[in-house]
Structure 1
Amino acid sequence: MTTFATIDSMVPEFQSALPSIAPEGLDTWTTTVPKEYVHRAAVAEVFLTGWRQTDTDVCTVTAQWPRAHSFYGPAHGFHDPLLFAETLRQTVPLLSHAVYGAPMDHKQIWRDLRVSLDPAALRTGLTPAEVELRVCCTDVERRGGVLRGMRMEVTATRDGLPLATASTMFSSHSRALYRRLRGAYADAEQAMAGAVVPPLPLRPELVGRDRAHDVVLSPRGDDGRWQLRVDTLHPIIFDHPNDHSPGMLLLEAARQAVQHLLGPAPVLTTGLDTAFHRYAEMDAPAWVAAEPLGDGRVRVIIEQHDALVFECVATTHPASAK
């Protein structure tokens, strides 16, 4: 059975305790959406500030990007491009729960992700970046009146200027179905306890990082591959217990592999064409490989047990603040 990557999903027990929110959602820059709606444990990691439904299967989602962040921080005068990927990741459960009525214990599973960012719109400013996403939901699938999945086509602006286009498809599964799909891996705390001890990291400067704690690749082996470092104590990547390596960890591994391959000059990963084929389990090593395709494009794959888990073609832009 082909599987994918969950969108960092939580299984809260308190759906009835969620705030009472009008159907049109929140529409303000002064607060974040409930953290439960975006599957985050820490309020500080919620970037979405509101949503409203503007038409059938069309929604507007607002977000604010901080000027500083412990993991997705700016560098060389640009916001981290993966802030946009995390914004999309949060949008998936938000609309699934708040607009399409998916129960709070349903998990959303990524199938693919395509992103194209305008480098000019990533430049940092004197205030946090105000981001707006227009989300068109297509191929909406329901079974028994319950959401089973959809595709989201996204056009984003930053302070009113074009920022990005994106497309992502995901499925949504009940707790019971997810447990059947995952079998022995369904228990998140048990899966994390059985995770492989992370190998030593690459030097941070080789992958565009300041701290070894944030490096997700090991030094290359004789076969030219990196081992994926799965640090279950990382407070951002593992904001809460997860039963497998989160999709955002795989995207970070791709971004770091691209920087290592094309460096030492810093590059921005402004385009992603990604497929999630299987779950990346934490109890066995996963291996990352990258090859240049020319014109600043790089193909990255992650394999485990000799099977393809994840593949991505990344497009880059020089990270020059001038």
Structure 2
Amino acid sequence: MSRLAVLVPGGTGQLGSDLAASSTDDVEVTAPGSAELDVKRAGAVVEAVAELAGRAKKEGRFPVVVNAAAYTAVDAAEDDEARAFAVNADGPRVLAAACSSWRVPLVHVSTDYVFSGEAERPYLPEDPLSPRSAYGRTKAAGEDAVLGSGASAWVVRTAWVYGERGGNFVKTMTRLEGERDVLSVVDDQRGSPTWSADLAAGLLELAGKIADGEGPSSRILHCTGGGETSWFEFARAIFEELGADPGRVKPCTTAEFPRPAARPAYSVLSDEPWRAAGLTPLRPWRDALGAYFARVSAARR
């Protein structure tokens, strides 16, 4: 595999921090946060991509940008779609233009929210988009901007991501387990929980294939934890990992737990093109959850 120089905008977020932690002698990861690299600022983006290209050439590495920068406050986006659009659509457009100019490949991370969630089988990358929320609309616009930019680019959609950095469902359930005797969690939304550390490994494997001239012919890929579950079943599994009684988690419907932004009822994404490209499928979601808690536990010791 080629030696890589990887730039990760959004490098201090949930996924970005795991990409940064994956840096090795062969895979050099530079992961600036938004304070260091604002993807909405064209000048800063062009400078960062130019620096990446120059450094990679000097060090004999292959440059790749993995865009982990995103506005992910799904409910807040309903009242601030302009801000979400600036980060999720305008930012990727600026980044893709810079990558095109410097001939640096781009891997852009997207989401299950670009779909309506009304399917009855796993979504394929080529299925029509029909986002039902402001967040989904801005992410869909970001995909269009990247794929229409002329850059050598791939979009990787994922779903139900959790990790050690930032807020997520696993952290919320962990906190609530210590605060409430009983929890009600929706049981009519299904998806595939994805540990950000596993996703990071998959994205870097993809970057390696691109560097070796084996980039997938499909420019849109799906990468999530294996299998599927509901939020209710996911919460019960989290309680099991915490050594708590999963019977304390009770099922409820989406209608009983209204949110400002519509959630896809079905978010399972097919990884067939990912596998067809020779990329390693992520492990089953339940195995990954156990590994996540083992890492968290080890870090506390």
Same fold (TM over 0.5): no
Please give the TM-score of this superposition, normalised by the length of structure 1: 0.30
The structure that is strand-richer by fraction is: 1
